[in-house]
Amino acid sequence: MNRNTLQEEYQINPEQINFFRENSFVKLKQVLPPEIVSYYNTVITEKVNQLIKVDLPLEKRDTYGKAFLQLFNLWREDELIKELVFSERIAKIASDLMEVKGVRLYHDQALFKEAGGGITPWHADQYYWPLSTDKTITAWIPLQAVPLNMGPLEFSAGSHRLLSGRELSISDESEIKLKEKLRINDFKHVIEPYDIGEVSFHSGWIFHRAGANTTDQVRKVMTVIYMDKDMILKEPENDNQKLDWETWCPGAKVGKVIDTPLNPVLFD
């Protein structure tokens, strides 16, 4: 297996960039070879199993707790995982889609939806982020194929234009209220499986969700969140943004570029 693929360029075409510009998400096939996906399935699963601590059984958790097991900044825990998170191949795709000169890391997340795990409610990620512009993007990297019954990511295409509902955290309330808002505004609801090696990219303000995992297998996903390399920290607008500042951008100053040891430039 050749992990050098992680640093080799993946060609984005103008149609894909235009699709992202219009819809605020795009799915790209064969971003990673199957052997790389399988390798990181093993590596990340081992690290998640080592670090995760789950006290409550699935049936006793709230909606958020049933949605997925979540671990952050695994790049700081394992040098092999760092190779994936710091992949210039994926970072350049993020930069090309956002049409910026380069990207830096906001943070990474492993999102493991257990067998029998519940829905991930409708939400927009950037509700949580103290970032001054919409030049943010998440790479959603499945560590196996994701059929519909495993709970792939779903998108409300073009819903980054919807300003109402941005004040909602991920919750039962956001699932109910946003489902209705998105229906009324007639945004296309996109639900598709993922092939092995397929990766999606979505902006911080697009509304998205995931269905339940009704299989007997864990849905394993690694995500990397990128921001414009010149992103400026804004004054937090809610307690979640204040917490994100303290956790993911410690030492950054309001009104200044977020240039901290936890936010390295990954492509320039």
Burial of 23 (0-12, 13-18, 19+ CB in 10 A): buried
267 occurs within a structural domain: no
Give 10-residue mean pLDDT values along the chain (268 residues).
88 97 97 97 96 71 64 96 98 98 98 92 94 98 98 96 82 84 87 98 97 96 98 96 97 98 97
For residue 148, give both structure tokens.
């519909």
223 occurs within a structural domain: yes
Q: Among positive and negative, which fits the CA dihedral 114, 26, 86, 250? A: negative
150 occurs within a structural domain: yes
Render the burial of 131-149: b for 16+ CB within 10 Å, e for the rest. Answer: bbebbbbbbbbbbbebeee
How many Å apart are CA 1 and CA 110, to the nearest integer? 23
185 occurs within a structural domain: no
Give the SS3 label for residue 25. Answer: strand
163 occurs within a structural domain: no
Contact yes or no for 163/241 (Cβ under 8 A):
no
For residue 51, the enclosing domain spans: 3-119+133-155+192-231
Q: What is the pLDDT of residue 56?
A: 62
Name every residue whose Cβ is closer than 8 Å to that of residue 151 and which is 6 or more positions away in sequence: 113, 117, 119, 120, 210, 211, 212, 213, 214, 219
14 occurs within a structural domain: yes
Give the SS3 label for residue 235. Answer: coil
Q: How many domains does the chain contain in total?
A: 1
pLDDT above 90 covers a percentage of the chain that reads: 81
The predicted model scores a pTM of: 0.93
268 occurs within a structural domain: no
127 occurs within a structural domain: no
Name the pairing type of β-strands 188-191 and 265-267.
unpaired
Contact yes or no for 66/58 (Cβ under 8 A):
yes
Please write the tens of the pLDDT for every residue from 203-240: 999 999 999 999 999 999 999 999 999 999 999 999 99
Q: What is the pLDDT of residue 175?
A: 86
Q: What is the pLDDT of residue 1?
A: 67
CATH of the domain at 210: 2.60.120.620
Where are the strands (E) in the chain, listed by range? 25-28, 69-72, 103-113, 120-123, 136-142, 153-157, 188-191, 199-203, 208-210, 219-228, 265-267
Q: What is the pLDDT of residue 12?
A: 95
Q: What is the pLDDT of residue 76?
A: 97
